[in-house]
């Protein structure tokens, strides 16, 4: 069945962080910093104790803050968020925040906390906001959500090459999805793609499915390749079909079949097609249950309607079910 976008503006399967767990996570991650700073200030007033203990308290506060920051950058969640099953991610890309955005968010929060009144006003506004975004969240273009699989990190640009190549001709277009296949719900970001489990497949076969090697020379002589969220690199020199057990249609016998291991069954058997023509790379949803979404390198998101060819560029991320792949193009110098 098809699903609709939630009132928060986030797609199905992505939920704003509940207020209670969010406050608890904040106490665990921010509370120790403020307690140590307050303790250090108090001890400094007692000049008879010297400066050693206050400086130690300040040092511990800095160490704890840096630990929380680094965990948010690496894993989108500090210790408190992991304990409460929450994450802080970019609203437009579903990825962990950069160091700069984490610091911006903390500075905004610190300024509001010092004023006290600003902190209270922030909480009131946050509770009335559909995505529960605080002012620091808005400053960093972030959103706190319930824990879910993250979008893959962006890969480094390919090394410039001097030679050019002739674009590959487009493969035969795949037929439109049958009318009985429900359309997928739109999504706004790789991490925000709604996912509904599919039922088990009786007698599912994996014959003819290719598992290409990761990295290496497999992609070096190709204009385009895909990096899957499990680390595999897949060169694109024709039609590529991805899914739990992808099967080619009529006229697609020479397609490369890529099996995606998906224990949660959010990926359809033949979920996504990727091809290349004179215009560049394109993707097409094959009438999947949970749909596919393209997020361009500039953060623009486009849901893929079944059967539509959607042009994608270098650095784009394609979400399908609970999985993702990133598009790469060899640079020509």
Domains and CATH numbers, the chain: 19-146 (no CATH), 190-329 (2.60.200.20)
pTM: predicted TM-score of the whole model, two decimal places: 0.47
> What pLDDT shows up at residue 206?
39
CA atoms of 93 and 263, how far apart (whole Å): 24
Residue of 312, 316, 314, 307 lying closest to 329 (CA atoms): 314
SS3 at position 137: helix
Q: What is the pLDDT of residue 193?
A: 37
- What distances in angstroms separate CA 16 from CA 10, 71, 181, one per listed residue? 8, 20, 29
Residue 181 is given by DSSP the state: S
Provide the pLDDT for residue 264: 78
pLDDT at 10 (0 to 100): 57
Residue 135 CA to residue 153 CA, distance in Å, equals 26
Count the helices and strands in the chain (H runs, E runs). Answer: 6, 13
> Cα 249 to chain center, whole Å?
31
Per-residue pLDDT at 222 = 64
The pLDDT profile of the chain, 333 residues, written as one tens digit per residue, is: 333 444 455 555 678 888 889 989 989 998 898 898 888 888 887 766 677 888 888 899 899 989 998 999 988 899 999 999 999 988 767 788 888 989 898 888 888 888 888 888 888 888 887 788 888 888 888 888 888 776 655 544 443 333 333 333 333 333 343 333 333 333 333 333 334 445 445 444 434 444 444 443 343 446 899 999 888 999 998 999 999 999 998 888 899 999 998 887 889 999 999 998 888 899 999 999 888 999 888 888 888 988 889 999 998 999 998 888 999 987 654
The CA distance from 320 to 160, in Å, is 30
- For residue 88 the two structure tokens come to 């802080």
In the chain the first and final C-alpha atoms are separated, in Å, by: 48
Residue 153 is predicted with a pLDDT of 55
- DSSP classification of residue 237: S
CB 216 within 8 Å of CB 256: no
Length in residues, the chain: 333
Give the CA radius of gyration of the chain: 24
| C-alpha–C-alpha distance, residues 67 and 103, integer Å | 13
pLDDT of residue 122: 84
| H or E stretch at 285 | strand 280-285
Specify the 3-state DSSP secondary structure of 152: coil
Residue 196 tokens, joined: 């509904």
Contacts of 121 (CB under 8 A, 6+ apart): none
The pLDDT assigned to 80 comes to: 92
Q: How far apart are CA 136 and CA 72, in angstroms?
A: 15
Q: Which two tokens stand for residue 110?
A: 């610190």
């Amino acid at each position: 069945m098809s699903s609709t976008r939630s009132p928060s503006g986030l797609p199905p399967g992505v939920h704003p962080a509940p207020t209670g767990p969010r406050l608890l996570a904040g106490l665990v991650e921010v509370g120790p910093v403020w307690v140590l700073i307050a303790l250090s200030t108090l001890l400094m007033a007692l000049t008879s104790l010297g400066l050693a203990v206050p400086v130690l308290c300040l040092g511990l506060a800095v160490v704890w803050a840096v630990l929380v920051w680094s965990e948010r950058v690496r894993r989108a969640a500090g210790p408190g968020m992991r304990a409460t099953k929450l994450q802080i991610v970019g609203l437009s890309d579903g990825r962990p925040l950069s160091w700069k955005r984490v610091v911006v968010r903390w500075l905004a929060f610190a300024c509001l906390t010092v004023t006290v009144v600003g902190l209270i006003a922030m909480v009131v506004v946050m509770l009335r906001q559909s995505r529960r975004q605080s002012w620091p969240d808005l400053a960093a273009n972030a959103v706190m959500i319930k824990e879910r699989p993250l979008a893959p990190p962006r890969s480094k640009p390919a090394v410039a090459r001097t030679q050019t190549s002739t674009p590959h001709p487009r493969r035969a277009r795949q037929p439109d999805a049958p009318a009985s296949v429900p359309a997928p719900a739109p999504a706004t970001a790789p991490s925000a793609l709604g996912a509904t489990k599919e039922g088990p497949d009786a007698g599912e076969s994996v014959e003819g499915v290719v598992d290409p090697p990761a990295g290496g020379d497999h992609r070096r002589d190709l204009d385009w390749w895909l990096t899957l969220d499990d680390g595999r690199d897949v060169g694109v020199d024709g039609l590529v079909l991805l899914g739990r057990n992808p099967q080619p249609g009529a006229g697609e016998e020479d397609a490369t079949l890529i099996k995606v291991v998906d224990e949660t069954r959010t990926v359809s058997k033949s979920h996504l097609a990727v091809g290349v023509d004179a215009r560049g790379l394109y993707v097409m949803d094959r009438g999947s249950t949970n749909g596919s979404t393209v997020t361009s390198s500039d953060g623009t998101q486009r849901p893929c309607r079944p059967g539509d060819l959607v042009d994608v560029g270098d650095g784009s991320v394609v979400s399908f079910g609970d999985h993702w792949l990133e598009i790469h193009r060899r640079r020509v110098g």
